[in-house]
């Protein structure tokens, strides 16, 4: 039982938290923009590499510079939406889905061009796990990941339930046409969706890199379980995505 807790349950909660953060962006994009964004995993990777560069420049802990990486990836996401996705919003869904495949390959190629394909580490070295009551072994990294993920999930919850833009996002998720008729600025909602999706994607990518390493395929490799988490929780339901990732 102790072996299960120490080597499966605790690391599994950390990985599930990463899945949950990634699934939030997937499910928000699907519920509001009505398409599956296959470039989402590359945004996770891009966020991890931005964080890596910021750590190299400043020498600050990766969690401390992560908000800057979130802002940078949010700008990239908004630019991608404006140039590549917005012209196809009135087109059949399959066209914008294929566009996201193309964007996935483009972002990966740009990442490989600037950072190379070698494995990188956010924090070199091995952290010794904490031993609690001489029984439980908990890695400090896993504690940071789970606590950080829960904090960000709480922020998403407060955004969706306590803010005007969050309520507009929920309204547009239920019915885009009705949201327009009630005077909601749908373009503002779409921009907010990309920003929230980018922030959670960066957090997922940074936490994944923090737990292991950075490579140019990390976002693509985690994309399938992230989609599975979103589907398990009910596609288009942020709270379901959080639960699906942990499950």
pLDDT in tens, the chain (247 residues): 777 877 788 889 999 999 999 999 999 999 898 899 999 999 999 999 999 999 999 999 999 999 999 999 999 999 999 999 999 988 998 999 999 999 999 999 999 999 999 999 888 766 676 677 667 777 889 999 999 999 999 999 999 999 999 999 998 888 888 888 888 898 999 999 999 999 999 999 999 999 989 999 999 999 999 999 999 998 778 889 999 999 9
How far apart, in whole angstroms, are the C-alpha atoms of residue 23 and residue 243?
A: 10
- Whole-prediction pTM value? 0.93
How many beta carbons lie within 10 A of that of residue 102, not counting itself? 12
How far apart, in whole angstroms, are the C-alpha atoms of residue 25 and residue 230?
A: 9
How far apart, in whole angstroms, are the C-alpha atoms of residue 47 and residue 76?
A: 10
Whose CA is closest to 129, among 4, 2, 6, 5? 6
């Amino acid at each position: 039982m102790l072996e299960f807790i120490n080597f499966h349950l605790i690391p599994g909660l950390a990985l599930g938290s990463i899945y949950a953060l990634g699934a939030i962006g997937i499910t928000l994009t699907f519920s509001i923009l009505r398409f599956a964004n296959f470039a989402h995993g590359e945004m996770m990777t891009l966020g991890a590499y931005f964080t890596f560069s910021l750590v190299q420049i400043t020498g600050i802990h990766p969690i401390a510079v992560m908000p800057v990486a979130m802002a940078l990836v949010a700008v990239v996401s908004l630019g991608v939406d404006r140039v590549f996705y917005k012209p196809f919003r009135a087109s059949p869904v399959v066209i914008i889905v294929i566009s996201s495949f193309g964007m996935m390959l483009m972002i990966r190629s740009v990442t490989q061009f600037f950072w190379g394909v070698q494995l990188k580490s956010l924090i070199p070295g091995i952290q010794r796990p904490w031993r609690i009551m001489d029984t439980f072994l908990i890695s400090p990294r896993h504690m940071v990941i789970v606590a950080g993920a829960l904090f960000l999930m709480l922020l998403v919850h407060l955004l969706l339930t306590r803010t005007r833009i969050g309520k507009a996002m929920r309204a547009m998720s239920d019915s885009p046409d009705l949201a327009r008729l009630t005077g909601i600025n749908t373009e503002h909602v779409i921009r907010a969706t990309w920003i929230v999706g980018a922030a959670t994607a960066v957090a997922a990518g940074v936490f994944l890199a923090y737990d292991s390493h950075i490579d140019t395929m990390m976002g693509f490799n985690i994309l399938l379980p992230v989609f599975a988490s979103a589907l398990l929780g009910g596609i288009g339901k942020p709270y379901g995505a959080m639960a699906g990732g942990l499950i």
